[in-house]
């Protein structure tokens, strides 16, 4: 992280941002000596980005520093980022503004350090006087750029595909940087193929989560962190998610040899079930991960996203076929294997404390800076074992980027806040948990639950509705005992019932 702003103030010099110059003393942005007008919020945002040049800053952190509030919509930040990019594009048309002010999916925003540097404070040459209409057109250009970005949030590019892939007709529209995708269902044409479902679901889920330009909506479902990956047709979280852009299904059939599977991939709009992408893939049973990587690469190509880096060389089928004891004893685990194993451990009724403590300590050594999902899995394991301080630290760190909006995680965080007698944090996470449940329950039901009388009588009322839901009862059943006294401890922090 380079604090270019502080360095410039200390050395009493200016900052070059591509072909623009920022004077931190007078807080002025200019091009060839001509001042560029910045609104106060845009100026503050630019200075925060200059304080951490080259390092992604999470949206929540930017909002807290610029607006001094945790209740500002992220759309406000997105619009301000678009405004800054429009200014960069207008005054440095030869440069790509998106490569100067970079969006790092699931991480935040940053200024490209290669295009920001310190310069000595020298007099800039005088610019030619602007024509009377130039300022007016500058304002128009800014608003046009913002409008284009906003329109891009609702339009998807459907590029031409290779001959083996059939798609809906292409349209000339704007590409969205991050795609919301639900991994939904795997069907088999023959029961003899069932042993491969678990490995295929595990590998495809791991590859999609690792790819920053695809947001796997399954992670936001309450049951995602409560479900095992098994040979049932559905991915964790897929049956109780109401919203996503796209839904992915697979159909497995036998190949021409005993070592070949045929996987037919189908991508549909979640709202209409209209198919927009399909492809057929030959999967070598001995190298399932490589075949699934081709699917992942084709999805990225279809959405016109950046090329996907080569995934880790895993043998997912061999790993998931081992006993849990053998998996725990594996000496070199990949991040996807840790996530899979932690998920299975969470659904194990009784964990051997000494062995689990040893394994968690090993994970801490082997993965000192885990990705967001692994941090959550390890945090939940600590929580289940009663190691609340470690659980709180891991879950809080994982929540820092606020990319996974999961009601169950918020419920755990609210319980940890109760245990630490922190009423404000408890209320915050309790409310976040209720709001996140609107992904799977009618919003009217959530509003009803927030009535003071209902909260006092049934503080987990919305969760009780989920438990009665056949699709979630098995997932939540092993955890509900942990929250038996939750409402008793929460009573003092809820508003009193209103007098009739």
pLDDT of residue 257: 92
- Top-confidence range, 268-272, 334-338, 368-372, 402-406: 334-338
Of 27, 34, 20, the closest CA to residue 5 belongs to: 27
Specify the residue for token string 């806040």.
Answer: 417
Instruction: Give residue 465's region: left, alpha or beta (phi > 0; psi -120 to 50).
Output: alpha
Assess if residue 167 is contained within a domain.
no
Q: What band does 185 get if pLDDT is binned at 50, 70 and 90? A: very high
- Pairwise CA distance, residues 333 & 312, whole Å: 11
Q: Which of residues 353, 387, 404 is at a domain's end?
A: 404
Tell me, yes or no, whether 34 and 77 share the same domain: yes
Assess if residue 168 is contained within a domain.
no
Q: For the residues 106-125, what does the mean pLDDT come to?
A: 75
272-286, 349-363, 463-477: the lowest-pLDDT one: 463-477
Assess if residue 83 is contained within a domain.
yes
Tokens standing for residue 333: 């685990």
Tell me, yes or no, whether 453 and 477 share the same domain: yes
Q: What band does 124 get if pLDDT is binned at 50, 70 and 90? A: very low
pLDDT score of 19 more than 50: yes
- Pairwise CA distance, residues 328 & 211, whole Å: 26
User: What does 70-130 look like in DSSP terms, one character per residue?
Assistant: S-S-HHHHHHHHHHHHHHHHHH-TTS-HHHHEEEETTTEEEE-GGGEEEE---PPPPPPPP
CA angle 237, 238, 240 (to 5 degrees): 75
pLDDT of residue 475: 60
pLDDT score of 329 more than 60: yes
Q: What is the mean pLDDT of the chain?
A: 81
Could you read off the pLDDT of 291-322 as tens digits, one per residue? 999 999 999 899 888 777 666 678 999 999 99
Q: For the residues 266-292, what does the mean pLDDT come to?
A: 92
Tell me, yes or no, whether 386 and 276 share the same domain: no
Beta strands per DSSP E along 9-55: 14-17, 20-23, 28-31, 34-36
Tell me, yes or no, whether 184 and 102 share the same domain: no
Tell me, yes or no, whether 400 and 416 share the same domain: no
pLDDT score of 129 more than 70: no
pLDDT score of 55 more than 90: no
3-state secondary structure 132-175: CCHHHHHHHHHHHHHHHHHHHCCCCCCCCCCCCCEECCCCCCCC
Could you read off the pLDDT of 195-205 as tens digits, one per residue? 999 999 999 99
Tell me, yes or no, whether 327 and 379 share the same domain: yes
- The CATH number of whichever domain residue 219 belongs to comes to 3.40.50.10070
Could you read off the pLDDT of 406-450 as tens digits, one per residue? 899 999 999 999 999 999 999 999 998 988 888 778 888 888 888
Tell me, yes or no, whether 9 and 127 share the same domain: yes
pLDDT score of 139 more than 60: no
Angle between helices 407-419 and 388-399 (to 10 degrees): 140
How many other β-carbons are positioned within 10 Å of the β-carbon of residue 204?
Answer: 26
Assess if residue 161 is contained within a domain.
no
DSSP state of 265: E
Secondary structure percentages of the chain, helix, strand, coil, to 5:
50, 15, 35
The domain total for the chain is 4
pLDDT of residue 128: 38
Tokens standing for residue 383: 């929580």
Tokens standing for residue 39: 């609104």
Assess if residue 187 is contained within a domain.
yes
Could you read off the pLDDT of 360-402 as tens digits, one per residue? 999 999 998 888 899 999 999 999 898 999 999 898 877 655 5
213 vs 365, more confident: 365
Tell me, yes or no, whether 19 and 142 share the same domain: yes
pLDDT score of 134 more than 80: no
Q: Which of residues 337, 371, 404 is at a domain's end?
A: 404
- Pairwise CA distance, residues 263 & 292, whole Å: 9
- Pairwise CA distance, residues 346 & 224, whole Å: 12
By the 8 A CB rule, do 231 and 197 touch? yes
- Classify 131 as helix, strand or coil: coil
pLDDT of residue 140: 38
What is the extent of the structural domain holding 66? 4-152
- Pairwise CA distance, residues 303 & 177, whole Å: 9
Helices (H) and strands (E) in the chain, counts: 21, 13
- The pTM for the full model equals 0.66
Separation of CA 298 from chain center:
21
pLDDT score of 478 more than 70: no
Tokens standing for residue 125: 């040459």
- Pairwise CA distance, residues 278 & 313, whole Å: 26
Q: What band does 136 get if pLDDT is binned at 50, 70 and 90? A: very low
Instruction: Give residue 273's region: left, alpha or beta (phi > 0; psi -120 to 50).
Output: left
Residue % of the chain over a pLDDT of 70: 82
Tell me, yes or no, whether 195 and 279 share the same domain: yes
Q: Which of residues 358, 388, 404 is at a domain's end?
A: 404
pLDDT score of 251 more than 90: yes
Assess if residue 160 is contained within a domain.
no
Tell me, yes or no, whether 62 and 129 share the same domain: yes
pLDDT of residue 496: 78
Tell me, yes or no, whether 366 and 482 share the same domain: no
- 72, 107, 278, 464 from 68: Cα distances, Å: 9, 20, 47, 37
- Classify 314 as helix, strand or coil: coil
pLDDT score of 138 more than 50: no
- Classify 238 as helix, strand or coil: coil
pLDDT of residue 164: 38
pLDDT of residue 323: 92
Tell me, yes or no, whether 18 and 137 share the same domain: yes
- Pairwise CA distance, residues 144 & 96, whole Å: 17
Residue % of the chain over a pLDDT of 90: 37
How many other β-carbons are positioned within 10 Å of the β-carbon of residue 107?
Answer: 17
- The CATH number of whichever domain residue 130 belongs to comes to 1.10.10.10
- 18, 322, 330, 331, 345 from 352: Cα distances, Å: 57, 19, 17, 19, 11
- Pairwise CA distance, residues 107 & 91, whole Å: 27
pLDDT of residue 474: 61
For the four alpha carbons of 392, 394, 399 and 405, in that order, the dihedral sign comes to negative
pLDDT of residue 39: 82
Separation of CA 307 from chain center:
19
- Classify 221 as helix, strand or coil: coil
Assess if residue 293 is contained within a domain.
yes
Assess if residue 22 is contained within a domain.
yes
């Amino acid at each position: 992280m380079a604090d270019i702003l502080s360095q410039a103030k200390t050395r009493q010099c200016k900052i070059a941002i591509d072909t623009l110059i920022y004077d931190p003393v007078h807080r002025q942005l200019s091009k060839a000596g001509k001042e560029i007008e910045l609104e106060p919020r845009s100026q503050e945002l630019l200075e925060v980005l200059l304080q951490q040049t080259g390092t992604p800053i999470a949206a929540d952190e930017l909002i807290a520093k610029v607006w001094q509030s945790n209740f500002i919509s992220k759309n406000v930040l997105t619009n301000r980022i678009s405004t800054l990019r429009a200014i960069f594009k207008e005054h440095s048309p030869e440069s790509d503004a998106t490569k100067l002010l970079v969006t790092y999916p699931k991480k935040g925003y940053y200024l490209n350090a290669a295009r920001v540097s310190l310069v000595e404070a020298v007099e800039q040459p005088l610019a030619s006087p602007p024509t009377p209409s130039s300022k007016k057109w500058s304002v128009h250009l800014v608003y046009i750029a913002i409008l284009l970005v906003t329109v891009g949030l609702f339009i998807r590019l459907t590029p031409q595909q290779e001959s083996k892939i059939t798609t809906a007709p292409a349209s000339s529209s704007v590409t969205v940087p991050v795609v919301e995708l639900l991994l939904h269902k795997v069907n088999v044409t023959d029961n003899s193929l069932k042993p491969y479902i678990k490995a295929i679901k595990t590998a495809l889920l791991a590859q999609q989560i690792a790819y920053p330009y695809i947001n796997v909506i399954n992670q936001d479902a309450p049951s995602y962190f409560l479900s095992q990956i098994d040979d049932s047709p559905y991915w964790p979280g897929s049956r109780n998610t109401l919203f996503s852009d796209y839904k992915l299904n697979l159909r497995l059939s036998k190949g021409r040899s005993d070592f070949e599977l045929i996987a037919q991939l189908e991508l549909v709009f979640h709202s209409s079930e209209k198919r927009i992408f399909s492809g057929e893939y030959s999967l070598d049973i001995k190298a399932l991960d490589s075949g699934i990587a081709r699917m992942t690469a084709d999805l990225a190509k279809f959405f016109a996203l950046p090329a996907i880096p080569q995934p880790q060389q895993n043998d997912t089928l061999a790993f998931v076929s081992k006993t849990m004891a053998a998996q725990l004893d594996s000496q070199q685990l990949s991040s996807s294997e840790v996530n899979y194993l932690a998920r299975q451990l969470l659904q194990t009724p009784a964990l051997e404390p000494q062995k689990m403590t040893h394994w968690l300590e090993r994970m801490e050594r082997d993965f000192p800076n885990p990705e967001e999902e692994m941090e959550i899995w390890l945090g939940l394991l600590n929580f289940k074992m009663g190691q609340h301080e470690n659980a709180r630290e891991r879950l809080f760190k994982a929540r820092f980027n606020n990319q996974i909006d999961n009601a169950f995680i918020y419920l755990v965080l609210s319980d940890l806040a109760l245990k630490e007698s922190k009423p404000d944090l408890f209320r915050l996470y309790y409310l976040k948990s209720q709001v996140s449940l609107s992904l799977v329950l009618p919003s009217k039901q959530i509003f009803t639950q927030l009535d003071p009388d209902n909260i006092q009588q049934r503080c987990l009322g919305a969760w009780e509705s989920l438990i009665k839901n056949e699709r979630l009862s098995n997932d939540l059943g092993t955890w509900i005992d942990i929250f038996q006294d939750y409402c008793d401890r929460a009573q003092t922090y809820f508003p009193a019932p209103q007098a009739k």
